[in-house]
Amino acid sequence: MIKKMAYQAIRSVYHFLNPRNPNKIKFKLKGDNVEISGGSFFNPENMSIGHNVYIGHESYFACVGGLTIEDNVIIGPRVSIHTSNHRYEDAYTLPYDGVSIKRPVYIESNVWIGGHVTIIPGVRIGEGAVIGLGSVVTKDVPKCAVVGGNPAKIIKYRDQEHYERLKEQGQYYMNYRKQGLIKHKYIDQSDRAFIEKAEIFKG
């Protein structure tokens, strides 16, 4: 058992220092139109990815406990997701022992996770939620909630009527991007005329 643990530790360090080409990683499930900019994926055989998903660069996904990412999810750069934790209570050594407790993470559809976010084991992020930059998500996030901070707390909720309308119309960012229909603009927060016209997409 000790030899197996040592081998797994060495393998983890190797893959962290030498991240594999994400296009060659064998995930449990990988949908269509998935773009992975890079990162480290441990136990990818326990990771399922839906359709129209983007994962930013320098991601760190430890998937031994199981990680599910549904459709139309955008994940920013340098996001860390953990699905297991060392046992420290009733452990036979300090500060923890050789037992790790697996707790799966589930990210529902249409979620946007900002950069530098950390998600701890056992968390479920509800459909349409927005996770703010640098947040540490320690508990489940409700549908369409906008959360931020350490630990992440609910700041507000998305306009659910608008959300459901876009969902019904099938207006998903990665679909538009694949078709070359995304028109990026940088605007001032005070430019209400532009915002109200919602001229984000071409056509």
**In degrees rounded to 5, what are phi and psi of residue 143?**
-55, 130
CA atoms within 13 A on the CB side of 31: 18
The CA distance from 137 to 102, in Å, is 17
The CA distance from 66 to 48, in Å, is 8
Instruction: Identify the active-site residue in 51, 82, 86, 184.
Output: 86
Calculate the alpha carbon distances from 87 to 15, 28, 60, 96, 182 in Å. Answer: 24, 26, 21, 6, 46
Nearest to 41 by CA among 66, 57, 59, 23: 59
82 is a catalytic site residue: no
Q: Which residues are catalytic?
A: 86
